[in-house]
Amino acid sequence: MNQLIHSKLLICSCRNSLSQIYKNLVDLSLYIENTSIIMEMRKLTKEEERVIIHKGTECPFTGKYDDFFQKGTYVCKRCGQPLYSSEAKFDAGCGWPAFDKEFPGAVKRVPDPDGMRTEIECAKCGAHLGHVFTGERFTKENTRHCVNSISIEFIKEGEGNE
């Protein structure tokens, strides 16, 4: 009888150990995935960090992509994730680059705590891009992504990984 109890305890102990080992492996895999994403991220200047990480805003009409209309792709400054095609860019006259459509799954929408605006972030790394507005009727999409130039980089058509 005593040996049967020891056997049951050993089985329970092994199950718990296997469960803990599995949990540790899952945690390790998430850590490795997050670490590789962080290592892929580009080093930011103080001003880029203020906008991209601390959710700041660059001054209107100062960004290099406000009045810029070459063909290509706009990517996240922090991780390089493709965000917008130049075909989605339009002149809203607001002082920041404006896009009416992102690449599917590239941009995450997060309501501001006050409920007044909706923040847009890179879906891959969480970098602050700007804000999205709807109902303004600038384009048929009826959406305006108001993006900080400092949060994005431009890859000319035919260059880079488009």
Residues noted as catalytic:
146
118, 110 Cβ separation under 8 angstroms? yes
Residues 6+ apart with CB under 8 A from 107: 83, 120, 121, 122, 123, 129, 132, 145
- Compute the distance between CA of residue 124 and CA of residue 53 in angstroms, rounded to an integer: 14
* 3-class secondary-structure state, position 20: helix
What is the DSSP code (8-state) at residue 96?
Answer: S
